[in-house]
Structure 1
Amino acid sequence: MAEPLLALDGVHTHIAQYHILQGVDLAVPAGGVTVILGRNGAGKTTTLRTIMGLWQASGGTIRFDGADITSLDTPAIARRGIAYVPENMGIFTDLTVRENMVLAAVDGPMDSGRLDWIFSLFPPLRTFWEMPAGNLSGGQKQMLSVARAVIEPRRLILVDEPTKGLAPAIIKAMTAALAELARTDTTILLVEQNFAMAKSLGQTVSVMDDGRIVHSGAMAELAGDAALQERLMGLSLETHQ
């Protein structure tokens, strides 16, 4: 088997007195979408933030493209080609859409061809290019958050619940955009509570519970086994279509 693009081996994370991640083992193959599922509070967001260096792992190792990145700081991790779309979107509301994108293009001026590609994924960003980002709708802000993460080519993008609180039409557009992104050289690690979206996008899936990975495998296997879904998450994906 090919070496995974990203691998967590026995990763622990403490936040103050709380032991959140308790030996996470996770393998993310290169290409496509890997989804992390689990109940609220299982440790999914903490896993993404630990990978990104926003919270320091207190044990275990994180390897990206074969290199140990466990002790690197966030800027160094980003320079290796990893981007993060947080649940709170992380945009600058007082700046225009254009200014948000300029700040994200750390390697220099934005490539016009790549910008046109992003506009094809998220047409409202072209429409509101000179508008303050704070004036955008929730769905448009989420589009901007993803667009900022991919204004430059990335090997891996970590996306935390991109459809939370969005209308069905916006969820459909976001799902299509992430599917298109996954057809490029960018690998996606997605935390998502919308199980219909997760099933449609994911090739592989890991389920978290109480700070550990309790199941990993093909998304098709999990999606087709209601008893396994019930055992792992206490619900059936089919009830969340």
Structure 2
Amino acid sequence: MSANLLELQGVHTHIGAYHILHGVDLQVPRGQLTLLLGRNGAGKTTTLRTIMGLWQASQGRVAFNGQDITRQHTPQIAQQGIAYVPENMGIFADLTVKENMVLAARGARTAAQIDNQRLQWIFQLFPAVEKFWNHPAGKLSGGQKQMLAVARAIVEPRELLIVDEPSKGLAPSIINNMIDAFAQLKKSGVTILLVEQNIGFAKRLGDTVAVMDNGRIVHAGTMAQLAQDEALQQRLLGLSLA
């Protein structure tokens, strides 16, 4: 079994006339939390969408669990145990929290058919999901919507969770709750790939890190190494993690 659950090798992605990814090489180690960092427009979201088959790679290879998924469609990719939470969260605002969760639970037609033990575990991770169970999802706060989006992604067991900017626009207390939840998810054996701009969030959670610039991975290593090297931080990100 490979040490890497997910690997991208020489991935190029075109969107219309635009060449966005220029040979991305990315490794996501099994059982770890990998951060994908970079300035706005570096290609981070395009990388996630390419992994999920929402945009097709024009060249290169995406492998999950050693299997080539480059040409697979999004439903096929999701069925292999990959969950994706986009930056806009993708919740159904007119449905209740409960109805959003039922839709995400493939084997359930009612809330009673969701695995109760797993649901109670999710409630412990995200108490707001239980508190607002019967409320319209569109009336939740931004932080509560983000909690619902992640909870919905893990209502079924997943090997890999991919999340695009989970802390964006959230209050510090909600960010701390999100950090605790991701730490518990990782402890449970879920491999996690996060795009993140909040450097404090990144430092507290990350095992490994890849930094993107102009559609390429320009640095890969441990989060601890990057956090300790201010010159490297300035060169790659134009800021200090201190």
TM (normalized to structure 2)? 0.97
Q: Distance in 2 between matches of 1:84 and 1:221?
A: 28
TM (normalized to structure 1)? 0.97
Structure 1 letter corresponding to 2:146 = Q
Counterpart check, 1:152 vs 2:156: yes
Out of 234, 237, 240, which is 1:233 matched to?
237
**Equivalent residue, structure 1, for 2:6:** 6
**Equivalent residue, structure 1, for 2:97:** 97
The 3-state SS of whatever aligns with 2:13 is strand
Within a 5 Å distance, the mapping from 1:55-66 to structure 2 comes to: 55-66=55-66
- Give the drift of 1:2: 4.2
Q: Is 2:2–2:66's contact at 8 Å kept on the other side of the alignment?
A: no
Out of 138, 142, 147, which is 1:143 matched to?
147
Count of aligned positions: 238
Out of 203, 208, 214, which is 2:218 matched to?
214
Within a 5 Å distance, the mapping from 1:65-104 to structure 2 comes to: 65-104=65-104
Identity %: 67
The 3-state SS of whatever aligns with 1:61 is strand
Q: Distance in 2 between matches of 1:3 and 1:96?
A: 40
- Give the drift of 1:3: 3.4
- Give the drift of 1:106: 0.8
Q: Distance in 1 between matches of 2:230 and 2:2?
A: 30
Runs ≥4 residues deviating over 4 A: none
**Equivalent residue, structure 2, for 1:181:** 185
The 3-state SS of whatever aligns with 2:4 is coil
Q: Distance in 1 between matches of 2:72 and 2:188?
A: 27
Counterpart check, 1:129 vs 2:170: no
Structure 2 letter corresponding to 1:154 = R
Q: Distance in 2 between matches of 1:232 and 1:47?
A: 18
The 3-state SS of whatever aligns with 1:237 is coil
Q: Distance in 2 between matches of 1:3 and 1:124?
A: 35
Structure 1 gaps of 5+ residues are none
The 3-state SS of whatever aligns with 1:144 is helix
**Equivalent residue, structure 2, for 1:46:** 46
Q: Is 2:2–2:65's contact at 8 Å kept on the other side of the alignment?
A: no
